[in-house]
Amino acid sequence: MKIVVIGGTGLIGSKLVTTLSALGHEAVAAAPNTGVNTLTGEGMAEVLKGAKVVVDVSNSPSFEDAAVLDFFQTSTRNLLSYEAAAGVGHHVALSIVGSERLPQSGYLRAKVAQEKLIKEGPIPYTIVRATQFFEFTKRIADEATVGNSVCLPPVLFQPIAADDVASALCKVATSSPLNVTIEIAGPKAFRFDELIRQRLSALNDSREVVADPHARYFGTELSERSIVPGDTAQLGETRFEDWLSHSTSQAQPPTPQAATAVSINPAALKENEFRANELPPGSALLVGEAVVFNVGGSLCATQAKCTHRQGDLSPGKLDGSTVTCPLHGSQFNVCTGEVLRGPAQDPLKTYRVIVDGDIGRVEADAAAVAKAN
Q: Which does 325 bind (CB under 5 to 8 A by kind): ligand FES, ligand NAP, none?
A: ligand FES
Nearest partner of 47 among 71, 10, 56, judged by Cα: 56
**CA 332, CA 297: separation in Å to the nearest integer?**
18
- Look up residue 320 and give its amino acid: G
Which of positions 330-369 make contact with ligand FES (CB under 6 A)?
330, 343-344
DSSP 342: S
CA dihedral angle for residue 246, residue 250, residue 253, residue 259, rounded to 10 degrees: 50
31 contact choice in ligand FES, ligand NAP, none (CB below 5 to 8 Å, kind-dependent) = ligand NAP
What is the footprint of ligand NAP within residues 262-321 (CB under 6 A)?
none
| Among residues 8, 154, 311, 337, the one that binds ligand FES under rule CB under 6 A | 311
3-class secondary structure, 109: helix
**Alpha-helical segments (H) within the chain:** 11-22, 44-48, 65-86, 106-120, 137-143, 162-173, 192-202, 240-251
- The binder of ligand NAP chosen from 132, 247, 330, 350 (CB under 6 A): 132
**Which of residues 79, 160, 325, 370 is near ligand FES by CB under 6 A?**
325
Of residues 20-59, those binding ligand FES (CB under 6 A): none
Kindly report whether the peptide bond that precedes residue 343 is cis, defined as omega within 30 degrees of 0.
yes
Number of residues located near ligand NAP, criterion CB under 6 A? 26
Q: Which of 279, 308, 318, 351 binds ligand FES (CB under 6 A)?
A: 308
Range 100-119, binding ligand NAP (CB under 6 A): 111
- Judged by DSSP in three states, 285 sits in strand
Which lies closer to ligand FES via its Cβ, residue 207 or residue 328? Answer: 328
Per the CB < 8 A criterion, the answer to whether 212 and 152 are in contact is yes
| Binding flag, residue 169, ligand NAP (CB under 6 A) | no
Q: Which residues fall within 8 angstroms of residue 116, CB to CB, at 6 or more apart?
A: none
- Binder among 3, 16, 20, 57 for ligand NAP (CB under 6 A): 57
Segment (H or E) for 27: strand 26-30
12-41 positions binding ligand NAP, by CB under 6 A: 12-13, 31-33, 36-39
> Footprint of ligand FES on this chain (CB under 6 A)?
306, 308-311, 325, 327-330, 343-344
> Footprint of ligand NAP on this chain (CB under 6 A)?
6-7, 9-13, 31-33, 36-39, 57-59, 61, 94, 96, 111, 130, 132-133, 136, 343
